[in-house]
Structure 1
């Protein structure tokens, strides 16, 4: 009788992520994040860039990276925004996320995100992320997030990427 496979075994495709120099893995904080594959972060001056390698698990029926993965990655880029907004210790749930899909990403592509803080109010933060492949825009995302409670797990990841631990 065959044993049940773990979720990790079901999605593992054996692909080597091959992140560019300077990017370090950001360990998943929750169960959902562990299903995405490895996300990476890199200090960029006072800010942070994020990236991931498109693996087989991310490919849709059309042979391109699923739009849901790109949307999820854009949403995860709130980590970068937390650095820019000086909110490393704060959870920032998404209130609104809108995306413009400009071109597809394919198997093996390195998708990288640069985030720009547009406005920081008392509780609302508005920011934009541009996801690129080989310096060409793939997705432009605009998000509104709400600064809420303390987030020790996220802060630990951010401090690790920024070289503070």
Structure 2
């Protein structure tokens, strides 16, 4: 974990978000779309490592119970690791006005729900730069949402930039 950098209360490191190297309970959070699509971006790394998050997401989409923007689904993948599927992306392409699929309000809502769960199981939170890949969001808008939902509650957050 070289090239570590702390900004606010978020630790930024180069590495693989699917392999957090800290003790204790950990939640890996990522942003999902609201149309049942899974197969590009960070989810491919999740699916290579664990099958359960994709299976749970697809079942959640099929059943539709609670499946809406701002919702989260927590899936335990190891005794001390959970994956949080956060619905923060509307469809997968820009809308008719050219707006990207990211929905900042939905991500904020999901992060606040995640904070409650992280406190309950005393977990740190780990993520790539959520909402900034295929969803088309910008980090300058996402980072304050993380700070407001998680960091202010003293929840340890690590953001991973993949690569060497």
**Higher relative contact order, structure no. (Cα contacts within 8 Å, ≥ 6 residues apart):** 2
Compute the TM-score of the two structures, normalised by the length of structure 1.
0.33
Compute the TM-score of the two structures, normalised by the length of structure 2.
0.33
Larger strand share, 1 or 2: 1
Larger helix share, 1 or 2: 2
